[in-house]
């Protein structure tokens, strides 16, 4: 992976172009609050969303998907069960799973569900806020509702260690995003604080990661078949970093035009749709930590 | 029905005026992704939405409705059961049912559910994309997630035959919409490709059909009482065509102002709200096929 | 409480400032249609939303909340059960409950559910449209779907009597909002008719009340601990009136910029976010009835 912003921007633009060229299907078992937004984000960046949660069909649906996003933001037992069924099938097929531990740390039920997903599935990516990842990793952090009240002390260390332990790429998003495959740690400095005034902006970034990670399956980053272990190689680390950089950049572009969270949300979709090589190469900001 | 665009536009404007004058209640048992959008569309065109899915109340709720929309986009057994309960009661009362077979063709569970709804209920209208209607009709077409990957070869024939077989008016929507009552086939050439970049635009067109079809009950198009067979007569064929023409036209108006899918979605609601006789008479484009 | 608009505006601005300063967590068990909108409203005014409905966690989640909003707009038995579990725990902890009887009056199931919530929980606030509150109070009013078709004859009397009977502050919202604690009755004349063209504007006002009422717990208006009876004292009456005045005022500001319901909805979030002391002091309109 490149070490200058310019090189990174070029690679990130490549990934986005692959998403648009291949239109991967992103199967999302997600929460009621953000479903519409994450579906619209998925379309805006050129991928295809499908929301399906019935135990009767999730294994079939994930078979057609390029990635599976699991987001238990409004969890209940039937939905958790569906996530596990879909996840097991995804693991069999080599479909990468992106997990968003929404609100883990806030209630015992969310903690147990997060731990169970971690234990029973091989995850390709885990993304959350500092409090959620801290709670998932047993590294501290405080969550109230779905908000990170106080984050982990050393996010770079926490993502690296949780990645090394789980085999997933782990991302803590916030003012700076921290991403690790267990060895390298990247920081992304894109984004805008207006994102905190709109619900689901974290969930949207997870959906974006889903679309981007679907492309690295064919790029040598993630094994495409069988039950063999899938290691988070550079191709997928780059895909995750690219997703977060492009997403944060769209947030910056949107914020420059917005007059509040209502117009920001609208501008964000327009900005995602309009992202291009030029704006990404100029705007993506990555650091190797 | 008129055969020139100008005549058709006049009739379509008449239907919209009836919707606004009567404010029919459109009972929607629909998917989690689009509920907010279809409710807002329903209000924007002057009708009243109600979303209610509990088996404990759907039969009561549909009794107050002018139309029932069934959309199993995020189906699960309890919801399918509720659709059937509401549908049976709608059939008893002569409330027209509009069915949107979202994602039929994508999984066996969706195929079975689509077939079951077709078998157990008398539908007034069926609307889907080319892949979905093809799968429902056993006429080919490929669906990935909820997207039509490849459509049927001859949509005019498919809608006519499925209409003849089911007794429903059948519509395949796409670049050109094809609508048939089993005898005549109409083509609608309104719409804009930006609609493909926003989730739920198909579901929204189905909700719009629901509001428009509620008006043809009192126009001789659909029987209003009892269990007698309801034939798709010209009044209802016109209502469905009018809904799709008005909807597509609003999409064109919105696209002319939009800078991406976020602003398009906002402009679409404004355009639907602002549709008037003048714009419809000038903009509606229908052909008899 | 103040009796001039200027004094009231100053107090309402105080309440909003407390919301922004304290960022109370508003636990919402609400309907599928409006979840995204009420979450965005909650953030826009500076509070934190959390949607959680699983019986496995609602009692834990409400323990961290400053208010609990119960909105059975798309009710089903599991969700009603969760509302009761959360509500009982809220009563134990002194967390104020705001109840929105969506669609009560439309079906027997909604009537029974509304009556059950009234019977089994101590509510801090009840807010609905004229038909819903009329049905809940047994005072007439007609509801079709979730719309008030014909309201109660004397809203000031109905809110006062239902408040006196239940111990909750009761609000009927409409062109004029009527609010009572069982003794005093206030009228709020903010708002705009465009609100009727967007779904969930009533539900959003309830969520806003939730955030505002969370502040009066620490203001002597609502007891904060134990099972003792919580009387609707002036602090909370003011909080409810302030929420409705600020919300209606944001609607007026949004309507002045909107071109239809799509842009109105966007502008509403921007306006809520941008409300300030100056606009509230100038724009809030209250009357003592």
Confidence of residue C171 (pLDDT cuts 50, 70, 90): very high
A218: pLDDT strictly greater than 50: no
ipTM: 0.93
Identify the closest residue of chain A to C267 by CA–CA distance.
A262
Which of A178-192, C88-102, C225-239 is least confident?
Answer: C225-239
For residue A76, which residues of chain C lie inside 8 Å, CB to CB?
Answer: 53-54, 56, 78
Chain C within 8 Å of A226 (Cβ-Cβ)? no
For residue B111, which residues of chain A lie inside 8 Å, CB to CB?
Answer: none
C232: pLDDT strictly greater than 60: no
* Interval B41-57 mean pLDDT: 98
For residue A197, which residues of chain C lie inside 8 Å, CB to CB?
Answer: 43-44, 273
pLDDT for residue C6: 78
| Sheet with A286-288, edge to edge strand ranges | A48-51, A25-29, A67-70, A97-99, A125-128, A169-172, A177-180, A185-188, A286-288
A4: pLDDT strictly greater than 80: no
Q: What is the mean pLDDT of chain C?
A: 92
Chain C within 8 Å of B96 (Cβ-Cβ)? no
- How close B237 comes to chain A (CA, Å)? 31
Residue B107 to residue C133: CA distance in whole angstroms:
44
Identify the closest residue of chain C to A146 by CA–CA distance.
C50
Which one, of B129, B284, B263, lies nearest residue B201 by Cα?
Answer: B129
For the domain made up of A5-288, the CATH class stated in words is alpha beta
Chain A within 8 Å of C76 (Cβ-Cβ)? no
B125 phi and psi angles, rounded to 5 deg: -145, 140
Domain boundaries, chain C: 5-288
Candidate from A39, A50, A269 with C-beta closest to B262: A269
Candidate from A51, A78, A269 with C-beta closest to B74: A51
Cα torsion B199, B202, B204, B207: sign: negative
Residue B125 to residue B143: CA distance in whole angstroms:
21
A220: pLDDT strictly greater than 50: no
Subunits close to A (at least 3 CB pairs below 8 A):
B, C
pLDDT for residue A234: 65
pLDDT for residue A6: 78
C3 against C69, higher pLDDT: C69
pLDDT for residue A179: 98
Chain B within 8 Å of C259 (Cβ-Cβ)? yes
Confidence of residue C48 (pLDDT cuts 50, 70, 90): very high
Q: What is the dihedral of CA C244, C281, C262, A251, to 10 degrees?
A: -110
Subunits close to C (at least 3 CB pairs below 8 A):
A, B
Subunits close to B (at least 3 CB pairs below 8 A):
A, C
Confidence of residue B289 (pLDDT cuts 50, 70, 90): very high
pLDDT for residue C150: 83
Chain C within 8 Å of B34 (Cβ-Cβ)? no
Q: What is the dihedral of CA A84, A88, A91, A96, to 10 degrees?
A: -30
List Cα–Cα distances, B46 to B22, B31, B271, in angstroms: 8, 22, 13
Q: How many contacts (CB atoms, under 8 Å) link A and C?
A: 104
Interacting residues of A194 by C-beta distance below 8 A, sequence separation 6+: A251, A254, A255, A258, A261, A264
Chain B within 8 Å of C196 (Cβ-Cβ)? yes
Place of tokens 């910029």: C257
pLDDT digits (tens, 9 = 90+) for A157-175: 999 999 999 999 999 999 9
List Cα–Cα distances, C285 to A167, B251, B265, C242, in angstroms: 59, 39, 33, 10
For residue B274, which residues of chain C lie inside 8 Å, CB to CB?
Answer: 259-260
pLDDT digits (tens, 9 = 90+) for B51-109: 999 999 999 999 999 999 999 999 999 999 999 999 999 999 999 999 999 999 999 99
Confidence of residue C3 (pLDDT cuts 50, 70, 90): low
List Cα–Cα distances, A16 to A13, A100, A159, A242, A267, in angstroms: 5, 21, 24, 8, 19
For residue C40, which residues of chain A lie inside 8 Å, CB to CB?
Answer: 198-199, 261-262, 265
The secondary structure of chain B as a DSSP string is: ---SHHHHHHHHHHHHHHHHHH--EEEEE--TTTHHHHHHHHHHTT-EEEE---TTTHHHHHTT-SEEEE--TT--HHHHHHHHHHHHHHHHHT--EEE--TTBTTBHHHHHHHHHHHHHS--SEEEE-HHHHHHHHTS--EEETTEEEE--S-HHHHHHHHHHHHSSEEEE-SSSEEEESSS-EEEE----GGGGGSTTHHHHHHHHHHHHHHHHGGGTSS--SSSS-----HHHHHHHHHHHHHHHHHHHHHHHH-SSHHHHHHHHHHHHHH--HHHHHHH--EEE-
Classify C24 as helix, strand or coil. Answer: coil
List Cα–Cα distances, B187 to B145, B243, C221, in angstroms: 26, 13, 63
Using the beta-carbon criterion (under 8 Å), do A260 and C268 form an inter-chain contact? no
Confidence of residue B224 (pLDDT cuts 50, 70, 90): very low
pLDDT digits (tens, 9 = 90+) for B174-195: 999 999 999 999 999 999 999 9
Q: How many contacts (CB atoms, under 8 Å) link A and B?
A: 104
Which of A176-190, B27-41, B135-149 is least confident?
Answer: B135-149
Chain B within 8 Å of A95 (Cβ-Cβ)? no
Identify the closest residue of chain B to C145 by CA–CA distance.
B50
Using the beta-carbon criterion (under 8 Å), do B146 and A268 form an inter-chain contact? no
Confidence of residue B228 (pLDDT cuts 50, 70, 90): very low
pLDDT for residue A221: 38
A227 against A73, higher pLDDT: A73
**Percentage with pLDDT > 90 across chain C:** 86
- How close A194 comes to chain C (CA, Å)? 10
Nearest-5° Cα angle at A223, A220 to A229? 130
């Amino acid at each position: 992976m490149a070490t200058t912003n310019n090189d990174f921007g070029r690679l990130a633009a490549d990934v986005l172009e692959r998403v648009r060229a291949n239109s991967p299907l992103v199967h999302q078992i997600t929460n009621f609050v953000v479903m519409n937004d994450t579906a619209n984000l998925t379309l805006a960046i050129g991928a295809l969303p499908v929301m399906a949660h019935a135990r009767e069909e999730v294994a079939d649906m994930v078979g057609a998907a390029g990635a599976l996003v699991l987001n238990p933001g409004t969890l209940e037992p039937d939905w958790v069960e569906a996530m596990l069924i879909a996840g097991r099938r995804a693991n069999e097929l080599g479909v990468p799973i992106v997990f968003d531990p929404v609100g883990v740390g806030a209630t015992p039920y969310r903690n147990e569900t997060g731990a169970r997903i971690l234990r029973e599935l091989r995850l390709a990516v885990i993304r959350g806020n500092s409090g959620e990842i801290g709670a998932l990793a047993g590294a501290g952090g405080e969550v109230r509702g779905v908000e990170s009240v106080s984050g982990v002390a050393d996010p770079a260390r926490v993502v690296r260690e949780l990645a090394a332990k789980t085999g997933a790429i782990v991302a803590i998003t916030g003012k700076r995003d921290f991403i690790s495959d267990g060895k390298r740690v990247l920081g992304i400095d894109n984004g805008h604080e207006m994102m905190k005034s709109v619900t689901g902006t974290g969930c949207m970034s997870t959906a974006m990661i889903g679309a981007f990670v679907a492309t690295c399956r064919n790029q040598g980053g993630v094994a495409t078949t069988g039950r063999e272990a899938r290691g988070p190689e550079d191709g997928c680390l780059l895909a995750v970093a690219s997703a977060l950089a492009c997403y944060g950049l769209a947030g910056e572009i949107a914020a420059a035009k917005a007059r509040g969270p209502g117009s920001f949300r609208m501008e964000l979709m327009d900005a995602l749709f309009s992202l291009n090589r030029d704006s990404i190469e100029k705007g993506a900001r990555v650091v190797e930590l």
